[in-house]
Chain A
Amino acid sequence: MRIPCPHCGERDVSEFRYGSDASKKRPAHGEKDFAKWHDHVFLFENPKGPHEEYWHHVLGCRQWFKLKRNTATNEIIGGGK
């Protein structure tokens, strides 16, 4: 799999680190509802298909960016933003 870094261009996946689901919204600071924190930390959509996610070009420019990838095929649909 090759991943388009917005700064360095397309590179091998071994240079990157997966940073999990990017569609999640962190509960507001000071949120007291325990269930909301549980859902944010532990639950995942885990779709078989298009997935918006964070990647970190950890062995390159070290930029964090969003990527859209099809988890059923590993095809990169969009991103590098």
Chain B
Amino acid sequence: MAKGYSIFSILKHALRPSQPWPEAWAKPAPKPSYDVIIIGGGGHGLATAYYLAKNHGLKNIAVLEKSYVGSGNVGRNTTLIRSDYMLGANTAFFEKSLQMWEGLSHELDFNCMVSHRGRIVVAVNPSQLDTFARRGNIMRLHGIDAELLDPGQMKKELPYLDYSKEARFPVYGGLHQQRAGTVRHDAVAWAYARAASDLGVHIIENCEVTGMVMGKGKVIGVETSRGKILAAKTGIAVAGHTSQLAKMAGIKLPVETHILQAFVTEPVKPMVHHVLGWGAELFYLSQSDKGGMVFGGHLDGFNTFTQRGQFFKMKDVMECAASLIPFMSRLRLLRHWGGINDMTPDGSPFICTTPIDGLYLNGGWCYQGFKATPASGLTFAHTIANNAPHQLNAGFALDRLMKGRELDEHGIGNWTYKQ
């Protein structure tokens, strides 16, 4: 466990400003070989390295990051955490993740600003409220908190929605998970990097993997922009470019790369006290601590590696915002950005071994990677250390599509985002 951040260290540094804070993690040069290499210095990769060192006693680990720590999707998401999943393999996994968020700041000695502000999904017709009741009941049977809200309770919790008779999408109720919320996403990357570095993990930034080193059909290391690095085990934990890395080892994946946009408005006074979801269209919104409305919608709809979105999708998402919350039409947009996601056929991820010895896969997170960070690191570390999955990620195997064990959480079939 990393130590050293406290009220006393703040006071000490405040009184002695000439002594700068030490760097949060070491910046070693890459060694010629490691026991385990994790490709990708984002939330999942750093968490994996941390749990490998902490739970499995491995000391000779490197995390290779092509840019700087936190430059990818861990800093591009909308920071939401929740565990309202219905299907077997998903429910337990995402609930474990939510439980891990609860103690994470303490464990890593880094304030990740975990805020259990609750999430409410708005039902816009009676049948949708029925499906929310079903989802809520499944959650409660698994010991996860869920509460169905009627329109009266909705009006009390969310007075700013459009409850008028003229509303295009009338409010019929909602599903409330009180333990859901938000986390400061950059802090998660920094906290795991610092804690992993304290346990001896080498975090090597500006080190892009350009190829896999193969020997007797196994992956025995990687070629990088900083030279060849050998490893007994190599784990892929990148977002967006998972197909490209797997292809270097000769594996074709059930993954397509798509762009998801996110938006933030000018800051206003505290108004939205929950995370909001919407039943009429894929749309979610929360208010940041600085006051900006942070929101996002659906994918642009075609595969691309550009981290910039199309204008028509911005317009769609703004229309969602103004339909759900009328005052949104009077706010000005401050920033918008894009992140590229691995989209899988059933919308669920892969944390698994691969057909190639020495290569392990953590990818295909679709829109749901951030909330999964702690459990993803925990189970991927277990999978790498034991060469077999943890019981929580046994359902996230690469061959599940072949075996008819798809995890289609939306219940609308294959390639949902193309429908």
Which residues in A have some Cβ–Cβ distance to B below 8 Å?
A: 1, 12-14, 17-18, 20, 34-35, 38-39, 41-46, 48, 51, 53, 71-74
- The interface residues of chain A lying within 8 Å CB-to-CB of B257 are 46, 48, 71
What's the nearest-Cβ distance from chain A to residue B352, in Å?
Answer: 15
B:127-149 near A, CB below 8 Å: none
Chain A to chain B contacts (Cβ below 8 Å), 20 pairs: A12-B312, A13-B302, A14-B310, A18-B302, A35-B402, A38-B401, A42-B254, A43-B253, A43-B254, A44-B254, A44-B255, A45-B252, A46-B243, A46-B244, A46-B257, A51-B303, A71-B305, A71-B306, A73-B306, A74-B306
Q: Which 5 A-B pairs have the closest CB atoms?
A: A14-B312, A18-B302, A46-B243, A42-B254, A43-B252
- The interface residues of chain B lying within 8 Å CB-to-CB of A14 are 310-312
What's the nearest-Cβ distance from chain B to residue A37, in Å?
Answer: 10
Interface membership of chain B positions 300-339, coded 1 if the CB is closer than 8 angstroms to chain A and 0 otherwise: 0111111000111000000000000000000000000000
- The interface residues of chain A lying within 8 Å CB-to-CB of B305 are 48, 71-72
A41 CA / B345 CA spacing, docked (Å) = 9
CB-nearest residue of chain B relative to A1?
B310
Compute the total of residue contacts between A and B using a CB distance below 8 Å.
59
- The interface residues of chain A lying within 8 Å CB-to-CB of B401 are 38, 42
- The interface residues of chain B lying within 8 Å CB-to-CB of A73 are 306
Q: A46-B253, A46-B303, A74-B304 are in contact. List 18 more A-B contacts (CB 8 A).
A: A12-B312, A13-B302, A14-B310, A14-B312, A18-B301, A18-B303, A18-B418, A35-B402, A41-B414, A42-B401, A44-B255, A46-B243, A46-B255, A46-B257, A48-B241, A53-B303, A71-B304, A74-B306
A41 CA / B415 CA spacing, docked (Å) = 10
What's the nearest-Cβ distance from chain A to residue B290, in Å?
Answer: 32
B256: interface (CB < 8 Å): yes
A60 CA / B314 CA spacing, docked (Å) = 21
CB-nearest residue of chain A relative to B312?
A14
Chain B interface size, as a band, is 20 to 34
A73 CA / B306 CA spacing, docked (Å) = 6
- The interface residues of chain B lying within 8 Å CB-to-CB of A12 are 312
- The interface residues of chain B lying within 8 Å CB-to-CB of A18 are 301-303, 418
CB-nearest residue of chain B relative to A42?
B254
The reply to whether A38 and B402 form a contact with Cβ atoms under 8 Å apart is yes
- The interface residues of chain A lying within 8 Å CB-to-CB of B303 are 18, 46, 51, 53, 71
A12 CA / B418 CA spacing, docked (Å) = 19
Interface membership of chain B positions 378-419, coded 1 if the CB is closer than 8 angstroms to chain A and 0 otherwise: 000000000000000000000001100000000000100010
What's the nearest-Cβ distance from chain B to residue A51, in Å?
Answer: 7
A17 CA / B243 CA spacing, docked (Å) = 23
Residue among B301, B303, B402 with the most chain A CB within 10 A? B303
A60 CA / B311 CA spacing, docked (Å) = 19
- The interface residues of chain A lying within 8 Å CB-to-CB of B252 are 39, 43-45
The reply to whether B244 and A48 form a contact with Cβ atoms under 8 Å apart is yes
- The interface residues of chain B lying within 8 Å CB-to-CB of A53 are 302-303
- The interface residues of chain A lying within 8 Å CB-to-CB of B402 are 34-35, 38, 42
What's the nearest-Cβ distance from chain A to residue B250, in Å?
Answer: 13
A48 CA / B303 CA spacing, docked (Å) = 10
The reply to whether B310 and A44 form a contact with Cβ atoms under 8 Å apart is no
- The interface residues of chain B lying within 8 Å CB-to-CB of A38 are 401-402
A14 CA / B302 CA spacing, docked (Å) = 11
Residue among A20, A45, A46, A74 with the most chain B CB within 10 A? A46
A34 CA / B403 CA spacing, docked (Å) = 10
Residue among B257, B305, B418 with the most chain A CB within 10 A? B305
- The interface residues of chain B lying within 8 Å CB-to-CB of A46 are 243-244, 253, 255-257, 303
- The interface residues of chain A lying within 8 Å CB-to-CB of B253 are 43-44, 46
What's the nearest-Cβ distance from chain B to residue A70, in Å?
Answer: 9
A42 CA / B255 CA spacing, docked (Å) = 8
What's the nearest-Cβ distance from chain A to residue B96, in Å?
Answer: 27
What's the nearest-Cβ distance from chain A to residue B20, in Å?
Answer: 40
- The interface residues of chain A lying within 8 Å CB-to-CB of B311 are 14
The reply to whether A17 and B256 form a contact with Cβ atoms under 8 Å apart is no
With A17-B301, A38-B401, A42-B345 as contacts: A72 and B306 at CB distance below 8 Å: yes
